[in-house]
Every structure is written in C-alpha cells, then in structure tokens.
Amino acid sequence: MSNKAVYEARPWLKFYGKGVPADVEVPLKSVVDIIDETTDKFKDKTAVVFYGQKISYKQLRDQIDRFATALCDLGVKKGDRVALLLLNSPQFIIAYFGTLKAGAVVTAISPVYVSPEIKYQLLDSGATTIVCQDILYDNVEKTGVKLDRVILTSITEYLPALKKFLGQSMLRAVYQKMSAPPPEIFKREGFYQLQDLLKKYPAKPPKIEFNIKEDLVSLPYTGGTTGLPKAAMITHFDLVAAQHIAQTCWGDILQPGKEVVIGYLPFYHIYGQSVVMTGSMSQGYMLIIFTTPDLDDILNAIENYGATIFYSVPALYEVLRDYHRTDRVNWKRIKVLVSGADALLEDTSRGWEQRTGVKIHEGWGMTETTSVGIVSPYGRPKTGSFGVPMPSCVAAIVDPAEDKFLPIGETGELAFKGPQISPGYWNKPKDTKLMFVEIDGETWVRTGDLARMDEEGYFFFYDRKRDMIKYKGLAVFAREVEEVLTSHPQVKEAGVIGVPDPDVGEKVKAIVVLEAEARGKVSEEDIIRYTAEHIAHYKVPKIVEFRGEVPKTDVGKVSRRELREEAL
C-alpha cells in the first residue's frame, strides 16, 4: 500500500464514537436558510443570555430581519462587504446574520486593533459599511478611510437595567482612554444608530438568491504571522459544511435545542465565529455571551445555566487548572469539553484531569478550514494528540518541501482536505496557489503545521513550520522546548524562538515567566540545567531571558512572531 493510500484508508474511523458516520452529505443550503429554519423551529427558546438579559430565537430573528431590511434600504447590495468592529454581544449576532440576509459579506475586525490595522483590513476587503462599538469608533475615524455607512451601537443597549452602568465601567477598564463620540456625530451624512434602524425598519428583508458554493459569507483574516494578514474566502457551503461536520462528529451526545454553550471566545475570530456562535445559532442552543473572559463570570454561568458545552483555549485551561474557584463547578456535567486554537501542553492536560477528573478533547482547525477539521474522538482523547479527522475529512503528512506523502510515524507537514475548505484568499492568487495545492488531482491545504500520525490515525502536533529552529543543521521544535520549560515547577509560561547566529545558524532562546515566589531565586543557569536533563543538548536554550509576561495573540497563543521581531 502506498503512503497516500494509508491515509486515504482512514485508519481513524474505527475509533469514531457511536452513531458517528464516516461521511456526511452537506445540504445545499445557505447560512440564511439554516438560521431561518432554526429560528422558526426554536422560536420560543432562549437563544442568547447576555449578563442576565435573555433574548429568544423569535426576538433574535426579528432583530436580524429588521437589520437586513435597513441595510438594503441604505444601499447595501449583494456581495458588498460590511465590516464588524464589535465586542461579543447580541449586536454582533444581529449584525452578522443581518448582513448575510442582505446578501452582503462580513469581515470582522479585532476590537484590539489600532488604526493602521483597521485601515488595512477595511481597504483590503473593500468594505463600504461598518457596524462599530461606539467606544471603538475613534480608531476608525483615525484611519481616514471614507465609508458610505457607519452604524454605531453601545454595549449597554442589551444589558439589563441594573447592569448598564456596570457594562460601561467594565469596558472602560479593558479599553482605556476610549469614549463614545458625541451625539452630534449622527448629524453627519451616512451615520446611524443601530437601535434607530431597528425601530424604523420592519422585519421584511428581501429574498436573496444565493449561489451556495460561490457566494461568500465572510472574509476572516489570518493573524499575519507571515507578511500582511490574508482573508480566507468562506462561502455559504463552507460554513454550512463546517456546522454539519461538527454536529455529526459527536454522534448522539448533543441534542438540537437542548444544549447550553459558554461563549467567551471572540466572535471576530474564526473559532468563536464558526464553532461557538454559528454552531450554537444553527442548532437552537442557548449561548451565554461574555465580552471579556472573566473567570468568576464564566464559572458562575457554567453552574447557573447548566452549561453542557465548553469551547476554550489552552491558555484558559492553564489558568483555570490552578484557579482557586475552579472546584465550584462540577465539570463532569459538561458533555463536551474542547480545547482549540493552539496546542495543548501535556502538562496542562494531565494537570486538568487530576484537578477535575475530566479529560479535555483537543481539536484542530484553521481559518482556511472554517475552523473545523480534526478533534479527539468522544471519550477517547490521547494525551499529546489533537485527535483524528472528522467525518468527510482526510489528513495526511507530506514532505515539507515537495508534494510527497510520508510514511506513518514520520514527522512532516500536515496536509488536509474536506468539504469545508476555503476556495482561497481574497485577491491574493499567489498566496492561494502556495497554500491550496493540487496533489494527484485533488486540492489539499498545506497547513504549515509540522505533525505526525500514529498507527491508529491520531495526529500529534510538533510545531509551526516557520517556528522550527535550525541549530547546526539540526531541527529544534520550539513547542517541544516550551513543553520542557513549563514542566519546571517554578515556570509559569515560556516562549521559544531561534535567534540568528553566523556560527550555528540559529541559537535557541527561551523567554521565561517565573511563578511569583520564584522570581529572584531561580537563575538562567538553573533553567538551562533543568532543560539539559530532559532534552538533547542541541535543543537546550543557549539564551534565557526572564520577563513578567510573554506576548500573546488574541486567542491566548504565545506570539512567537512578536518575540522574533523583538529579537531582530
């Protein structure tokens, strides 16, 4: 059997849970069709809970339809791009699906972006309309970009009366020095208040005909880890396929209309947007929304609302593992506990299980795969593995330098194919050609992740291809060194990069955050000696730098890109 045939045989299928099919048939429906069906079926159920304020599916549908009607009347046409610069809130959901109902395309912008980053995304996407949190608008104004329509909204609009002041205080603490523009701004042409539009327009949006496999839903931007950020084109078919695959991979464990999801992951990010927000809204789940990941708020909500699904990231599991109030939650009541967006350190995984008695199901996805692709089979996760390909998906390990499949057990680049794959990058044909490659007549995504597959079809992550360090011609995986460093009892966090050196190629540098009680007591030499006891000599850091924190991405990953830029 050829190397390719081994992967095509899908050895992981025998470990699928009860009722999980090998393949799924993706319905040829638009995202609008799916949302309409869900809001009709579950209209009396609670769709969203926002700091105690409940919104039913019937109420949500009414607001979505009113917003779509408003956009169309204001001149938004099919295919136009609408930017969302919003925190997690009911407004994000209303604006997102209302934009789709108007036939337009969403491009969501990170609320922590500064003006140059916002300007780049507005210009690159060609957005002509923005729906913006009022306290974030100043950064949009500073871009100088001329927009046809600016729609502003306040976080307090959907908060319970007693929490309106709390909401403003909370945001001031997070987004310092920001304030809402004066009321006079609405006298300017093209400026509107969201609530005024929702009151003015009826819930009668026009019927838009979609080309399901070609018309776009959104343009989510990658993190820009190499060069400028790129927007993956996500079609209606891609997003519906992602939802359908994700729903079936849990078998009969999850029931439409009966689950409760914690929604703290940012909705502008593909993980929060596809898996958490759209995944919940397409299944009639109750979505508990948080604008910021406050630990006490999250733990209280899990208990008070009986959460059954918890999507999170390694960074939060790491914090919760040691948090004094984590035990107040009976984690065994949660049906599905998933970690994604970054590799889960084995130390975190084992520590979590010891603390809670529950295993974390690790998953993998990319912006280019609509955030869905690989996940641990239900009840059978393997420590160190991010799981197996989901129904209708195939993953394989290929040579990083050529289109050649590698044998089981060898480390190489993860390649992936499935019905939810983006057709490419927005206005970037060269980047598309490099990422989406044809091998033996089929399109695969070259993920840039270095991984291996074991005999059972489980995949194990090593590192990003760009994060591999070359020391005297030998490959050093940054993540492997980070695993060793964070296993040190006095190390809280660590980031590892390669620093150019003319004699050896790259020296391994470790940026280390010590536990508070260890600061000033543990030395650089202590750290080097510790790592030397656990890994080969050429992987041991030659440089150790102590810091109070390491830079992170918006979803809590260590930002090695920032560390490299600082080093250079």
CA-based nearest residue to 439, from 458, 421, 416:
416
Residue 284 structure tokens: 């009639």
CA-based nearest residue to 30, from 220, 234, 231, 203:
234
324 secondary structure, DSSP code: T
300: CB partners within 8 A, 6+ apart: none
- Distance set, CA 219 to CA 84, 216, 332, 353, 479 (Å): 11, 8, 37, 37, 30
Q: What φ, ψ does residue 38 adopt, rounded to 5°? A: -65, -45
| Confidence at residue 225, expressed as pLDDT on a 0 to 100 scale | 41
The alpha carbon of 365 is separated from its chain's Cα centroid by a whole number of angstroms, namely 8
- Tell me the pLDDT tens digit for each residue of 499-556: 888 888 889 999 999 998 989 899 999 999 999 998 888 899 999 999 999 888 777 7
Contact 369, 375 (CB under 8 A): no
Positive or negative torsion for Cα 316, 317, 323, 325: positive
| Torsion angle, alpha carbons of 147, 149, 155, 161, to 10 | 160
Tell whether the model's pLDDT for residue 233 goes beyond 90. yes
The amino acid sitting at 19 is G
Q: What is the mean pLDDT of the chain?
A: 92
Tell whether the model's pLDDT for residue 438 goes beyond 70. yes
The amino acid sitting at 348 is T
- Tell me the pLDDT tens digit for each residue of 453-479: 999 999 999 877 778 888 877 778 888
| Confidence at residue 224, expressed as pLDDT on a 0 to 100 scale | 45
Distance CA 559, CA 539 (A): 20
CA-based nearest residue to 367, from 327, 340, 336:
340
Contact 397, 8 (CB under 8 A): no
| Confidence at residue 103, expressed as pLDDT on a 0 to 100 scale | 98
- Tell me the pLDDT tens digit for each residue of 248-262: 999 889 999 999 999
Domains of the chain with CATH codes: 3-26+225-463 (3.40.50.12780), 55-209 (3.40.50.980), 472-567 (3.30.300.30)
Distance CA 320, CA 518 (A): 21
Scanning 342-428, the segments in alpha helix (DSSP H) are 346-356
DSSP string, 60-102: HHHHHHHHHHHHHHTT--TT-EEEEE--SSHHHHHHHHHHHHT
Flag the least confident range among 175-179, 228-232, 323-327, 401-405.
Answer: 175-179
Distance CA 69, CA 352 (A): 47
Q: What is the pTM of this model?
A: 0.87
